[in-house]
Structure 1
């Protein structure tokens, strides 16, 4: 009906669902190109993507139609909307006014069942044909369209198969199940999704609300949990906060169990005949009680949190490192290895090397371990950025090596370890290089902190930060430690404006950072307390919960300037 053929671009927007998958595989069946979209890109970026890709067809869930109709060029550029389910009467009337050709998946399904002539043979792709254009969410600027070919995508799935056959990964089979809740618009979820289809394993879709994910997990009882560090950090924080409020005997038993299991972990054991049943069972049941393996990706996970997840869930945990440009994986931790703090070994389909960064004092001659920018080459490396040859040339050289922007080192066991960042670093006035992500990862492990944004400038000698406190913890701290009257009931804005709270928290964080081996210049010298958490809704986080640093700088520009001004006046 739509004459979808090789090169036809179809945008897909909506929560993960069967309909999302139908739209994707239907496009692939005809050798079309999918462009996954998500609302957190913002209307301006969505408009740019529609224009840049010359998109004429969009498949969408009903709740996204109002967003689509708010895009200025939607009416003029998009000719067909494939609705996952029947749109509301109001939305349908708007689409009719636009002269839009509206198809509803359920109706198409019925038509095909009633008339076999609708069925057609697939249009076979070749390996170098484009499968999808995956737009990065832009943590540092304008979204870029990463062109991924069928070879790129098959490479990931083939690598999964290789590490399973070589017993370097959990032995997945058709009885395994995972819950799909990370956005299918992101390459990490795309890669996992296609791998589970290849393995004939089961996929359950969440109901669409992040708030209900835990109840969805309990209903599905998955054996595999695919997640990102931010969620595990929250689990870690909630568990320790809950235990801290328990009677002394419970705290004693919990700490005893943790120490006992940590000793076992050092020997490669993640289970314990006693503690798994009487101490950690209730924690495992939070994720349905059937989890056998976890896969963590998209950002670094601290060693403390990784160790705790292993002893609490008594399961295998693999940590992957990769990017959109490498189909989500460059390296993966090895099976039966329980030592945290590394990013594993190279993914089967690619080769890695470290490029010297002399201005940051990182070279391949460093002792005891070689250090430098991680470069990756292989069939998993993206083809190019869509219609952006100059930007492509900055990231991918003539020999096919992709610059990751991450600083890594090889440890004594030949494992990769991410230690710094080229792109997200800045230099302070006295010449010190600062990697804000490393500092933020330390800060969020403090019990009083939920989120953190660290900032520095080349004309300033020190760092400042925006801190989103953990509300229950900070209220309790303010009331019981600082004795601030009515701290448990004051409006957050009033509580966070109290100078004694800010001063005390700054001191606490300074001690915490130094205790975690941060240097003096890596400690914050001034902070503001933010009442609104960073989220995808306020455009401060990407769909996989990474901080959009450029957006945060713009949002908090006045606060940043004020913090530096206050420091000058001291």
Structure 2
């Protein structure tokens, strides 16, 4: 299976059955009650390790699988004809794996609908949202809000989703909290790579904290290696930080015909356990949960010597309603960051029209 190539050329990862079985055993242990009563909606490509392991796990446990596409997922998707139903509405899945881009898209769609409400409806939605947020922080739910305010939002994904798992990239705390509240189900964040067969960490169902990816799975061990140049060490306070290194049966056999990178990214310790150096920077909290705080290749040192995380810049700007997609870029010979933006045509047109009218009125006044 090939990596995405987000930090260079895609690399072929050699996996054996033992790697996949170990990874899936660790993943399934974090999904309670997995069985024949569940329906999983598959819309990510099978060339993505998260989707492949998810579908094989569903087959193993006897779950139903319905196949979809990001373009036909919900009633509001771009390839759904007016008056037709989206795949989620028809299938009514109970389990769903997603990448942050899909969740950000759902978040923006719902928030745009909220902005179109009248003042009373918008105020009621905000009050209910804030109330349920406080209840979740205390470990409770808000059943009345679920029925009155969030029933229609929950119906966007069929109304039966009991757990969502997000992986592939960092999910913004704002989007994760929104999904927890409005879709009335836990949203688990996972961390894994193609090189570790998608396994690494997954948050517990009862963990409603944001920004963290959970504790290590039963199939692997995780340790943090000092990265002095970036300023991350095991002695950092209040929590140890460093490059994430994953070891265990789920670590793949290496890269196909790429011995140079194999020597750089993989090693075997004195106990003959295989380890993979991820290049991601993590921080372990006191309860054993991991938080991804940076990436080695994602950090660019600007002309003034300041390190900038391009991933964090992109994650922050993706929540802007005017932006559909963004790619940040920086050069060590410059003192600033630039970005390539794919704007949301509908929102941008509305914004420019409003701005033009405002200026026109201002000029007349």
TM-score, reference length from structure 1: 0.59
Q: Which residue of 1 aligns with 2:36?
A: 174
Q: Which residue of 2 aligns with 1:438?
A: 312
Distance 2:45 2:301 in 1: 34
Deviation track 1:355-382 (CA, whole Å, cap 9, x = no partner) reads 1111111101011111110001000101
Measured after TM superposition, the shift of residue 226 of structure 1 is: 1.2
Measured after TM superposition, the shift of residue 141 of structure 1 is: 2.5
2:334 counterpart (443, 460, 463): 460
Tell whether the 8 Å contact from 2:128 to 2:149 is kept in structure 1 after alignment. yes
Does residue 319 (structure 1) correspond to residue 189 (structure 2)? The answer is yes
Q: Which residue of 2 aligns with 1:502?
A: none
Measured after TM superposition, the shift of residue 482 of structure 1 is: 4.5
Tell whether the 8 Å contact from 2:27 to 2:202 is kept in structure 1 after alignment. no
Q: Which residue of 1 aligns with 2:131?
A: 260
Does residue 240 (structure 1) correspond to residue 137 (structure 2)? The answer is no
Deviation track 1:147-184 (CA, whole Å, cap 9, x = no partner) reads 011001110222245x2xxxx53321111011111111
Please state whether the residue corresponding to 2:303 is helix, strand or coil.
coil
Measured after TM superposition, the shift of residue 233 of structure 1 is: 0.5
Paired residues for 1:277-292 under 5 Å: 277-292=147-162
Deviation track 1:320-342 (CA, whole Å, cap 9, x = no partner) reads 01110011121111121111111
Measured after TM superposition, the shift of residue 298 of structure 1 is: 0.7
Root-mean-square deviation (CA, aligned residues, Å) is 1.6
Q: Which residue of 1 aligns with 2:13?
A: 146
Measured after TM superposition, the shift of residue 484 of structure 1 is: 8.5
Does residue 415 (structure 1) correspond to residue 281 (structure 2)? The answer is no
1:300 counterpart (162, 167, 170): 170
1:210 counterpart (67, 70, 88): 70
Q: Which residue of 2 aligns with 1:528?
A: none
Distance 1:472 1:484 in 2: 18
1:402 counterpart (276, 284, 291): 276
Distance 1:173 1:414 in 2: 28
Tell whether the 8 Å contact from 2:224 to 2:234 is kept in structure 1 after alignment. yes
Q: Which residue of 2 aligns with 1:219?
A: 90
Distance 1:140 1:360 in 2: 18
Tell whether the 8 Å contact from 1:219 to 1:288 is kept in structure 2 after alignment. yes
Structure 1 gap segments, 5+ residues each: 1-133, 487-570
Distance 1:142 1:160 in 2: 28
Distance 1:482 1:378 in 2: 60
Distance 2:108 2:70 in 1: 18
**Which protein is richer in helix relative to its size?**
1
Please state whether the residue corresponding to 2:96 is helix, strand or coil.
strand
Tell whether the 8 Å contact from 2:190 to 2:201 is kept in structure 1 after alignment. yes
1:348 counterpart (199, 212, 218): 218
Tell whether the 8 Å contact from 2:27 to 2:199 is kept in structure 1 after alignment. no
Please state whether the residue corresponding to 2:333 is helix, strand or coil.
coil
Which structure's CA Rg is the greater one?
1
Distance 2:37 2:132 in 1: 29
Measured after TM superposition, the shift of residue 483 of structure 1 is: 3.9
Distance 1:210 1:447 in 2: 19
2:54 counterpart (173, 187, 192): 192
Distance 1:205 1:369 in 2: 42
Distance 1:455 1:431 in 2: 16
Does residue 249 (structure 1) correspond to residue 120 (structure 2)? The answer is yes
Measured after TM superposition, the shift of residue 385 of structure 1 is: 0.6
Q: Which residue of 1 aligns with 2:79?
A: none
Tell whether the 8 Å contact from 1:221 to 1:287 is kept in structure 2 after alignment. yes
Rate the CA distance shift 1:366–1:482 in 2: closer, same or farther, 3 A: farther
Distance 1:361 1:136 in 2: 28
Distance 2:27 2:175 in 1: 25
Deviation track 1:495-553 (CA, whole Å, cap 9, x = no partner) reads xxxxxxxxxxxxxxxxxxxxxxxxxxxxxxxxxxxxxxxxxxxxxxxxxxxxxxxxxxx
Tell whether the 8 Å contact from 2:280 to 2:295 is kept in structure 1 after alignment. yes
Please state whether the residue corresponding to 1:325 is helix, strand or coil.
helix
* Runs of 4+ off more than 6 Å: none
Distance 1:256 1:268 in 2: 19
Measured after TM superposition, the shift of residue 347 of structure 1 is: 1.2
Does residue 135 (structure 1) correspond to residue 2 (structure 2)? The answer is yes
Aligned residues: 345
Tell whether the 8 Å contact from 1:268 to 1:337 is kept in structure 2 after alignment. no
